[in-house]
Amino acid sequence: MAMPERLKPTPPTPKIRALMKALLKQILDQIWDNQGRENPEISALIQQWNSHAGRPFEFHEFLVMHSHTSAANFLRTAFHQQKYVEDLSFEEACALTDFICKCEGTESDVDYALSLLETNFPEANASDLIFWPNEWFGDPDMLHVEISSPEIVAYLMAKSSRPLADAPLITLPYALPQEG
């Protein structure tokens, strides 16, 4: 299932994309030249970057970028803005979950979809529930449990105390973890 259209990030204009690509190169070159030390020139470039980015980035994110992702993915993440969707539907939440579980997009798109779930279901830790259910449930034997997207969303709603208005009644196959 694709990411719902209204939840997709707004793409930047070609001019802004080119500017951000050039800024990224300048920042990384400055970091390389200064061997990882923060300085006023780098800070000014990061400030300029942040004026166009969907969220503020910090020096250390540029410093360690290559150990986590490609420059292209890093650039794409700059345009992803975490947002709380007041009228998020159950179907949209399930579509985001499917998108993540099936890795239907680029790395940055999957990260963006995950951040949408994390933002819209605070304190529920969607990442652990999807990728590390054993950690989420607090049971080492639950690493490979099969949980459907509707069930994942039902767990997120229950854990975050954020019910979605159009959510059907879903019987959860496993007990919610106890607060510890």
Q: Show the CA angle centred on residue 67, arms to residues 64 and 73, nearest 5°.
A: 90
Provide the residue ranges of all domains of the chain, joining segments of one domain with +. 11-77, 90-160
The whole-number pLDDT of residue 180 equals 54
The whole-number pLDDT of residue 61 equals 92
For 46-76, write each residue's pLDDT tens digit: 999 999 998 899 999 999 988 888 888 899 8
For 15-48, write each residue's pLDDT tens digit: 999 999 999 999 999 998 887 778 899 999 999 9
Binned at pLDDT 50, 70 and 90, residue 174 comes out as: very high
- Residues, the chain, total? 180
Whether the per-residue pLDDT at 83 is higher than 90: the answer is no
Tokens of 48: 């300029």
The whole-number pLDDT of residue 59 equals 94
Give the HSE-up count for residue 139: Cα atoms under 13 Å, Cβ half-sphere: 12
Whether the per-residue pLDDT at 87 is higher than 90: the answer is yes
For 96-125, write each residue's pLDDT tens digit: 999 999 988 888 889 899 999 999 999 999
